[in-house]
């Protein structure tokens, strides 16, 4: 019995869409949050444990799939990227 490795099924699409929604929801509610806090919220509070999320994966995911809604900037105090709503930054003129 061979397994397909392409992964274009409806379950994969549903997981992808749920991950997009959950990340967007969390970042919109917590403007200026880190990838580590996003992962903690999703893995522990939202019970998305089977996704294998890490801060690095979340950072890549946001820049590739959510760039039209979310953006990042460098937090110089903590030395890491923080994520926020793109429309809030455009209103401030950054």
- Residue 26 belongs to what domain range? 10-92
| 5 has a pLDDT exceeding 70 | no
pLDDT at 89: 72
Report yes or no on 80 lying in a domain. yes
pLDDT at 44: 83
Reported as a single tens digit per residue, the pLDDT across 50-91 is: 678 899 999 999 999 999 999 999 988 878 899 999 887 766
* Total domains present in the chain: 1
Q: How many CA atoms lie within 13 A of 39 on its CB side?
A: 16
Reported as a single tens digit per residue, the pLDDT across 16-43 is: 999 999 999 999 999 999 999 999 999 8
Cβ-based neighbour number of residue 84 at 10 Å: 17
Residue 86, token pair as written in the block: 């793109």
Report yes or no on 1 lying in a domain. no
Q: Name the pTM for this structure.
A: 0.80
The CATH number for 36's domain is 1.10.10.10
């Amino acid at each position: 019995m061979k397994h397909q490795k392409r992964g274009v099924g409806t379950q994969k699409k549903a997981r992808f869409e749920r991950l997009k929604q959950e990340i967007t929801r969390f970042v919109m509610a917590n403007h200026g949050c880190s990838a580590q806090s996003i992962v903690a919220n999703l893995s522990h509070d939202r019970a998305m444990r089977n996704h294998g999320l890490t801060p690095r994966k979340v950072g890549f995911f946001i820049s590739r799939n959510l760039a039209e809604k979310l953006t990042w900037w460098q937090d110089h105090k903590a030395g890491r990227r923080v994520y926020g709503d793109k429309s809030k930054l455009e209103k401030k003129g950054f």
